[in-house]
Amino acid sequence: MSEKEVKNLDAIFEARIARDEKIEPKDWMPEKYRQTHIRQISQHAHSEIVGMLPEGNWITRAPSLRRKAALLAKVQDEAGHGLYLYSACETLGISREELYEQLHSGKAKYSSIFNYPTVTWADIGAIGWLVDGAAIINQVPLCNTSFGPYARAMVRVCKEESFHQRQGYEIMLTLCKGTPEQKAMAQDALNRWWWPSLMMFGPTDAESTHTEQSMKWKLKRKTNDELRQQFIDQTVPQADILGITVPDPDLKFNEETGHYDFGEIDWDEFWQVVKGHGPCNKQRLEARVSAWERGAWVRDAAMAYADKQQTKKVAKAS
């Protein structure tokens, strides 16, 4: 294809997106569109399955059978969401195994929030309330993103995720209505998860490299800072209902703007965790790699069995 033809295709493609048309896997797309989508969708998928680990850490210790079942169902949903997203990514011509390889080698990233440890039961509440709350804000606009398979996966994810945040908030509510010991547990969890949750929206707009292109392709509808503000505005009143304090002395409602002003985020910590120096980066990756390696004989055996059955079938037919 000549350069001019590609340019022409490019223009047609951008016009289609501007008209809100969906792009489907077999459609022509610029290589950069494909690569950006592989990167973002797989990062999203990796986040789902790495995200299973900190919460999975409490399944065996959940304080009641009702909580245990709800947590198990939630962690299972995350596996399902990872699966939907990997499938969407695979339509772009990359296999799940290749995507795993990128995760396991450290080449692909996942959400840094999962590199923090879950040290008390209240962390399960805080994750549902804050982390899923932040995730929903990030994800809802993606139900309308330009790439069809991603948008469809997100519709399913968002529909299923609606119970996750409620589950978390209900845990926090129960703790805050409980004994002083329980309430202290809830406060401690908020103290530890608040700032990392704010970091989930990524660097400030000034620092963010992908925003403009992502906006054009509808991978993003609002900027990092706008989404972060939306999260804070929605979450602070929820903390008030719980009767616990957001750990930010500078947090104050601004009558003029109608938004909360908030303190400086520790971006140094953010970049350290992104670079792999968070409290649990090493353990999370090790857990994923180990599950994959220990499962190799199982996957191989299932394939071998399938081949044998197929051969038998063919022999019978002939």
Distance CA 163, CA 279 (A): 28
Angle ∠(205,209,212) on CA atoms, nearest 5 = 75
12 or 241: whose CB is closer to other proteins? 12
215 or 301: whose CB is closer to other proteins? 301
Tokens 């790495």 locate to 50
Distance CA 89, CA 37 (A): 8
26 or 268: whose CB is closer to other proteins? 26
Distance CA 175, CA 121 (A): 10
Candidate list 37, 90, 132, 220; residue touching other proteins; CB under 8 A: 90
**Which part of the chain contacts other proteins (CB under 8 A), choosing from 82-90, 105-113, 186-194, 199-207?**
82-90
179 or 318: whose CB is closer to other proteins? 179
Assess 95 for contact with other proteins (CB under 8 A): yes
Residues 59 to 78 in contact with other proteins, rule: CB under 8 A:
59-69, 72-73, 75-77
128 or 202: whose CB is closer to other proteins? 128
84 or 116: whose CB is closer to other proteins? 84
Distance CA 162, CA 197 (A): 18
Contact between 188 and 198 (Cβ < 8 Å):
no
Whole-number minimum distance, CB 119 to other proteins, in Å? Answer: 13
Residues 252 to 311 in contact with other proteins, rule: CB under 8 A:
287, 290-292, 294-306, 308-310
Structure tokens at 303: 């394939």
How many residues form the binding site for other proteins (CB under 8 A)? 68
Structure tokens at 48: 């789902």
Assess 56 for contact with other proteins (CB under 8 A): yes
Contact between 24 and 148 (Cβ < 8 Å):
yes
Candidate list 38, 49, 113, 190; residue touching other proteins; CB under 8 A: 49
Distance CA 260, CA 257 (A): 8
Assess 84 for contact with other proteins (CB under 8 A): yes
Contact between 219 and 36 (Cβ < 8 Å):
yes
Contact between 225 and 204 (Cβ < 8 Å):
yes
Whole-number minimum distance, CB 62 to other proteins, in Å? Answer: 7
23 or 134: whose CB is closer to other proteins? 23
Residues 169 to 208 in contact with other proteins, rule: CB under 8 A:
171, 174-175, 177-179, 181-182
AA identity, residue 147 = F
Distance CA 31, CA 9 (A): 12
Structure tokens at 165: 């945040």
| Residue of 232, 222, 221 lying closest to 199 (CA atoms) | 232
172 or 200: whose CB is closer to other proteins? 172
Distance CA 109, CA 44 (A): 9
Q: Which residues bind other proteins (CB under 8 A)?
A: 24, 26-28, 49, 52-53, 56, 59-69, 72-73, 75-77, 79-80, 82-84, 86-87, 90, 95-97, 121, 152-153, 156, 160, 171, 174-175, 177-179, 181-182, 287, 290-292, 294-306, 308-310
